[in-house]
Amino acid sequence: MRRSFCLRFGCLTFALFAVAGRGGAQESEEPLPESLYEKLTVQENYWVRRVGYPTGRFDPRWVIEAREQDRLVPRSAPAGEARRLHTESVRTGLDPERFIPLGPMGLQTDDCQSCFELGIVAGRASALAIDPVDPNVAYFGAVIGGVWKTTNCCSESTTWTPVTDGLLDSTLAIADLTVDPGNHQVVYAGTGDQNWSGLSVGSFGVLKSTDQGATWAVKGSEIFTGVYPPSAGGTPQQQAVRRIRVDPRDSDIVVAGSKTGIFLSYDGGEHWTGPCHTNGFASQRQDVTGLELVDDGSSTTLFVAIGARGFPSPKQLDLDQNGANGVYRSTVPSSGCPASWAPLTDGWPAGTAAGQPFPANVLGRIDLAVAPSNRQVLYAQVQAINEIDGSQKGGQLGVWRSVDGGSSWTKRSGPSGLTGCDGDRNFNWWGQGLAVDPNDPDRLFLGAVDAFRSTDGGTTFVNVTCAYRGGHVHADQQVLAFLPGSSSTLLLGNDGGVYLSTNASGATVDFTPLNDQVNTLEFFTGDITMDFANAANPAIVAGAQDNGTSAHVWTGPPGPATWDAIRGGDGGFSRIEPKLGERWYSTTQAGMLAVSTTGPMGRIALVHGGWLHDRRVNLVPFVIDKFNCPGATCDHLVLGTYRVWEAIDGGLDAATWVAVSGNLTKNTRASDSVIAQLAFAPSDSTVVVASTLDGAVQYGTGLNAGAMGQWTDLTQGNAALPDRPVLGVAISPTSTTRVFAAVSGYDQNTPSTPGHVFQATCDGGCLAPQSWTWADKSGNLPNVPAASILVNPRFPQQVFVGTDWGLYVTNNVQVASPTWIKVTSGLPGVQVFDMVVDRGAGPDPRESSTTLVLFTRSRGSFAWPLASGSSFSPTVFSDDFEEGSAVAWTRIEGEL
């Protein structure tokens, strides 16, 4: 049987998108046969829903304002019991004063029953840079996981350490890295994500380190988070610094390429000039996808590629405005923008850089590379816009080469030049790149879905990774980098992390993963086993974008660990039956539920329930009632489409799943009107709450009977809860009539009902919507999308909310306006998609819960031992935050 794992983003996507029911569909062993337009549609629908619903508006200025709000939020560890002893922390493996990473510290794929064998993988590596003076030092950037550094590059024993976790702003989205060629102590990182996906993450500026990555400062944050307005009917986009380079003749001159053109700094990033446009085509996109600086002896030549994708998506309508696409040349000035630019059109198709979009201009994304051994030799890799000359829409159009410093170009190859295993696929718009051998201008590698090598100057390429043919290298190449001066050592960054070849110039090319101890997996949801902190063999499971479902079982206290892949595809919701720990549930795209009855590594059986015929999200939510289980096992599950499905016998047989509600959505957004999250009442198995992407919260009673329940629309007639996506819900562990909601989007889209955390209470007659009262509990939270919410079952006053910028906690949610603290102790400012607590082993499984675990996008999972009361909380020393400044904290003893 063909093995399937790590199916790429473009094929399966990773978001909450609605799909039509296909009933009985099998788990895919190949990329799903969707059209490119359909893939883009689901990505963009997610973006608009999550950020812009209900108006469809998004303005990056909102992010700037939210950043200032976030800087005023105190930072600390969550409050906990002072009597917790250090010896207890050692015994449990957890630390009450900080979150610890559980991993995966690399994900082992080689023993998975339905996976490609890719060795140890991690999340997407979007940038690479190697120190030109000290080749033991290298850096990679994770898509939303920050900058990582190694001091023992490059071999199988290479290890990495995150070096940007302590920054005040949430600047973990890394698009590019470069080391100053004139001072290798200085490193720059461009932030944001310019792959035009539905979940593009905005820029917070340029990161700069002057001590080889030990410390960092944010530069240009007011420049690179500027407004990027939409075309008519489209959706505004966030900025991204896709390329950044330092002038090899002057370390003070830094050039950044963004979505809106070129920016130059003449003082090491302190101040910026721009945007500088390579052309006068104001109606065309100015996405900089290629940027190279070449020392010509007396001046520095600047090569810029403008490479808009060239075809629209439903919400990014102007992506087809590619009339400026092409390669341009200028000279770096001593100040200001370059006085003039020359479009380099000799040898390029007619219409290149002429101002008219497709079909006049057939060029899509363009990546550039300069041969280190001959600076007159340049290469350009170009993405296709349509099916011409054997190209696929979005795939490889060709490779062009110049041997005279860019004055003239020759097309060396088209898609037919990509030979071996799988040739061209249609995802160059998502990932491509070039690297030229430092000693041979005719030998180069290019990235697409696979990596290819040419030894004849780009005329022919041979596939050297064969991702879908057992090649042991993850698909979707993002970036390539040679060790300076070496023809044999090559680093490869892709959607599975970093890979190394030490025989890049050999007859065959082999790659080894360098992802051991790297926790950059992009998780959606997960679960942990009972009495997690104290059990002899605690265990965890989670589903990730591109990297399936994975798990780990410890043989002692939980801590950082390498996990094992247990299921392929895109991972989704994952749950564990807590009492015996034998039943493990997982989903892939579109709600393909599977169960193992013999633990995490057992054989899985698919459950083709009736929900497969429903309108539903790709990330179909389902939960197991882990607290109300009088029998030997916990058998009560619910699953959400536009209605709720229930199983009360463990859900192993599709026939035992029954619909227990009608349509619970507002039904205002067609296919977007679907359930986003579900939660059981920790104290009552008959009570469930559901939230929807179109802003509804529904309260269900009479569940756990395998029959239709009674549902109350808590949003009907309310004047407080915003009409925005409700991505997280929870019920108080001590009261079934106290409901919490985490609201996504931005306040500016619902100005009369702002806020992100809300509480609904009922004092009687709770089947009537008017009996419920909503209260805004957002307090001092910044205006950022919230994705998850959890109430501490041991300390119900303590509520956690996971957001796009990290984790926040309040220790007294019942006051009118709670004070929230941003949790930074051991935890980077990463997106927190899901949170769970364990079932305790004591007489009351809620009171004896031990652990809170977070599942984050691009940094795996983190754990903290639950508190049962508040006795200390570190507090902020100063709220006068300056960009790049250090912040001191002090701990104050006493009750809050």
Q: What is the pLDDT of residue 234?
A: 63
471 within some domain: yes
Instruction: Based on the fold, state whether residues 574 and 644 are members of the same structural domain.
Output: yes
Average pLDDT over residues 536-562: 95
C-beta separation of 602 from 651 below 8 A: no
Q: What is the DSSP letter of 68?
A: H
Residue the block writes with tokens 């490609």: 116
**492 has which bridge partners?**
480, 499
Q: Is the pLDDT of residue 568 over 70?
A: yes
Tokens of 571: 């991972």
Give the span between the Cα atoms of 433 and 430, in whole angstroms. Answer: 10
680 within some domain: yes
Helices (H), 346-479: none
- Per-residue confidence at 15, pLDDT binned at 50, 70, 90? very low
Give the span between the Cα atoms of 453 and 464, in whole angstroms. Answer: 7
Q: What is the pLDDT of residue 545?
A: 86
C-beta separation of 246 from 129 below 8 A: no
Give the span between the Cα atoms of 874 and 628, in whole angstroms. Answer: 35
39 within some domain: no
Q: Is the pLDDT of residue 16 over 90?
A: no
Instruction: Based on the fold, state whether residues 374 and 338 are members of the same structural domain.
Output: no
- Per-residue confidence at 43, pLDDT binned at 50, 70, 90? low
Q: What is the pLDDT of residue 59?
A: 78
Q: What is the pLDDT of residues 120-159, one digit of tens each?
A: 999 999 999 999 999 999 999 998 899 999 999 999 999 9
| pLDDT-wise least confident of 175-184, 229-238, 243-252, 782-791 | 229-238
Task: Identify the H or E element spanning 726.
Answer: strand 726-731
Close Cβ partners of 844 (under 8 Å, ≥ 6 residues apart):
none
Q: Is the peptide bond before 54 cis (omega within 30 degrees of 0)?
A: yes
Instruction: Based on the fold, state whether residues 635 and 777 are members of the same structural domain.
Output: yes
Close Cβ partners of 169 (under 8 Å, ≥ 6 residues apart):
67, 70, 71, 204, 218, 221, 829
Domain boundary residue among 514, 536, 564?
514
Domain boundary residue among 345, 373, 406?
345
Instruction: Based on the fold, state whether residues 369 and 324 are members of the same structural domain.
Output: no
Average pLDDT over residues 794-810: 96
- Per-residue confidence at 32, pLDDT binned at 50, 70, 90? very low
Q: Is the peptide bond before 33 cis (omega within 30 degrees of 0)?
A: no
Q: Collapsing DSSP states into helix, strand and coil, what is residue 613?
A: helix
Q: Is the peptide bond before 359 cis (omega within 30 degrees of 0)?
A: yes
Q: What is the pLDDT of residue 90?
A: 41
**453 has which bridge partners?**
445, 462
Q: What is the pLDDT of residues 207-260, one digit of tens each?
A: 999 999 999 999 998 888 755 665 666 666 778 999 999 999 999 999 999 999
Instruction: Based on the fold, state whether residues 471 and 570 are members of the same structural domain.
Output: no
Q: Is the peptide bond before 275 cis (omega within 30 degrees of 0)?
A: yes
Give the span between the Cα atoms of 645 and 690, in whole angstroms. Answer: 11
DSSP codes, 552-573:
EE-SSS--S--EEEEE-SS---
Instruction: Based on the fold, state whether residues 757 and 800 are members of the same structural domain.
Output: yes
Residue the block writes with tokens 């004055």: 407
Task: Identify the H or E element spanning 593.
Answer: strand 592-596
642 within some domain: yes
Tokens of 194: 């310019």
The domain total for the chain is: 3
596 within some domain: yes
Q: Collapsing DSSP states into helix, strand and coil, what is residue 105?
A: coil
Instruction: Based on the fold, state whether residues 539 and 462 are members of the same structural domain.
Output: no
Give the span between the Cα atoms of 246 and 290, in whole angstroms. Answer: 14
Q: What is the pLDDT of residue 84?
A: 37
Residue of 759, 727, 734 lying closest to 16 (CA atoms): 727
107 within some domain: no
Give the span between the Cα atoms of 259 and 240, in whole angstroms. Answer: 6
Instruction: Based on the fold, state whether residues 510 and 523 are members of the same structural domain.
Output: no
Give the span between the Cα atoms of 24 and 607, in whole angstroms. Answer: 9
Instruction: Based on the fold, state whether residues 813 and 723 are members of the same structural domain.
Output: yes
Range of the domain at 443: 362-514
Domain boundary residue among 472, 498, 514?
514
CATH code at 608?
A: 2.130.10.10
18 within some domain: no
117 within some domain: no
Beta strands in 425-486 (DSSP E): 433-436, 444-447, 451-454, 461-463, 477-482
Give the span between the Cα atoms of 96 and 83, in whole angstroms. Answer: 10
Q: What is the pLDDT of residue 33?
A: 33
Rg over CA atoms, the chain: 26
Distances (CA, A) of 325 to 281, 310, 358, 554, 697: 10, 9, 10, 53, 46
Instruction: Based on the fold, state whether residues 508 and 523 are members of the same structural domain.
Output: no
Across all residues in the chain, what is the average pLDDT? 88
- Return the percentage of the chain with pLDDT > 70, whole number: 88
Instruction: Based on the fold, state whether residues 706 and 820 are members of the same structural domain.
Output: yes
C-beta separation of 49 from 57 below 8 A: no
**Higher pLDDT, residue 764 or 776:** 776
Give the span between the Cα atoms of 700 and 688, in whole angstroms. Answer: 5
Instruction: Based on the fold, state whether residues 866 and 806 are members of the same structural domain.
Output: yes
